[in-house]
Homo-oligomer: A and B are copies of this chain.
Amino acid sequence: MTTTTSTSPATAHADIRVAVSTVIFSLRREPGRERPSVVIPLVRRTRAPHEGQWALPGGWLGADEDLEMAASRTLRETTGLAPSFLEQLYAFGAVDRSPTRAVSIVYWALVREDVSARPAPENVAWFDATSLPALAFDHNQIVEYALWRLRNKVGYSRIAHGLLPELFTLADLREVYEAILDRRLDPANFRRQVDTSGTLIPTDGFRTGSHRPARLYRYDHDVELAERGPLPE
């Protein structure tokens, strides 16, 4: 055990590259399924390593780009739109995660269903996040961790609204929770919990259709979807 600082192996600058990737969550309704599925877009790799395999959207960090700028860029290039929620997930830097040394700063984002339903660019496709093929690099592990964060965070923040349009019913909101948590929630209990959250603004509108009319709500945008703490914007 040493207390000197002169033996550091890293006083010189190693050749390590910085990538930024993003796990983008949305919802998709499939015929015959009880709940919407959580889906993510993947990009088919057109060059080695892992040519032909699916990978998270991302790229090398540009010299003049902040990390969050780079994440927004890769997200825009993949889905064509800005996300409703974007947050840093984790930095992955295992020595053997790629043939040449690369640290990936991974973000995660939410986009609404109407956005993810648009035609995807070439080599981009949406996959059920819970049943993925073998992805390039350590990207299966990254998606696993992002799903874990999504399921945790939906319980103590307002991020579910990042998957909803401007106007929604309480049943729409409950469906988002059910899709993320992959289990049914009791409608009456859910309504009680939402009533005490103080973040929903009732509108004068109703959705009519085959059921009895349901009131439309909007989210109080004065309340951030999640606490960021004292992070730089």
Interface residues of A (CB under 8 A from B): 1-5, 7-18, 43, 59-67, 70, 73, 76-78, 80-81, 88, 90-95, 101, 103, 105, 121, 123, 138, 141, 144-145, 148-149, 152, 227, 229-232
Given A95-B64, A141-B230, residue A80 in contact with residue B3 (CB < 8 A): yes
Asked if B1 contacts A76 (CB within 8 A), the reply is: yes
The copy count of this chain in the complex is 2
Given A60-B11, A103-B61, residue A145 in contact with residue B1 (CB < 8 A): no
Contacts A14-B63, A91-B91, A145-B230 given; 17 further ones with Cβ under 8 A?
A1-B80, A2-B76, A3-B80, A5-B43, A8-B59, A10-B61, A13-B17, A14-B18, A14-B61, A15-B63, A63-B101, A67-B94, A93-B105, A138-B232, A145-B229, A145-B231, A152-B229
Report the Cα distance A170→B82, complex, angstroms.
Answer: 49
Report the Cα distance A126→B60, complex, angstroms.
Answer: 37
Asked if A65 contacts B10 (CB within 8 A), the reply is: yes
- Closest 7 A-B residue pairs measured CB to CB? A14-B63, A10-B62, A67-B93, A148-B229, A10-B60, A9-B62, A3-B80
- Residue of B3, B62, B88, B101 near A77 (CB, 8 A) is B3
CB distance from A143 to the nearest CB of B (A): 10
**Chain B neighbourhood of A3, CB < 8 A:** 77, 80, 121
CB distance from A110 to the nearest CB of B (A): 18
Report the Cα distance A143→B141, complex, angstroms.
Answer: 29
CB distance from A98 to the nearest CB of B (A): 13
Report the Cα distance A151→B65, complex, angstroms.
Answer: 31
